[in-house]
Amino acid sequence: MGGELSMTRWATSEPPMAKPDHLHFTKRGYVRIGMALVAAALLVVYRANVTSLIQLYIIGVFVSFTLGQTGMVVHWTRLLRHVASTTRLKERYPLIYEDVCELKESRRFEVKGQAV
């Protein structure tokens, strides 16, 4: 795996990569071994051609960026729908609405704890 006493180092590392029995890996250990195998497979499949590996990297960056931005669009759409549905607060609960408005006004004119 990694030389003399490597399983001992993995078992005593923080966080541990192997279980105390020195036979089985922890979840982190299995993930690390899996990532190493996938990296080795990519090197073999692409014959360690840097140009091809860079193109694969670009695709991965593009996909992760697109998924992240899609998640943000979903988040803000849900948030804005929620805000739009709560704008009827004034009609439903006029006393709470007045308290919220007073609280906003009192905080608007404070500068670092001092009233302006």
**pLDDT for 30-63, tens place per residue?**
999 999 999 999 999 999 899 999 999 999 999 9
Strands 110-111 and 114-115: antiparallel
CA distance 93 to 28: 52
- The pLDDT-based confidence of 24 (bands split at 50, 70, 90) is very high
Does residue 57 fall inside a structural domain? Answer: no
Does residue 10 fall inside a structural domain? Answer: yes
Unique residue bearing structure tokens 């993930």? 31
CB contact at 8 A, 29 and 10: yes
Average pLDDT rounded to a whole number, residues 64-86: 84
pTM over 0.75, yes/no? no
Unique residue bearing structure tokens 């001992």? 8
What is the residue range of 5's domain? 1-45
What does the longest C-alpha to C-alpha distance in the chain come to? 74
Helix residue ranges, H only, the chain: 6-12, 27-45, 50-86, 89-92, 94-108
Task: Tally the domains of the chain.
Answer: 1
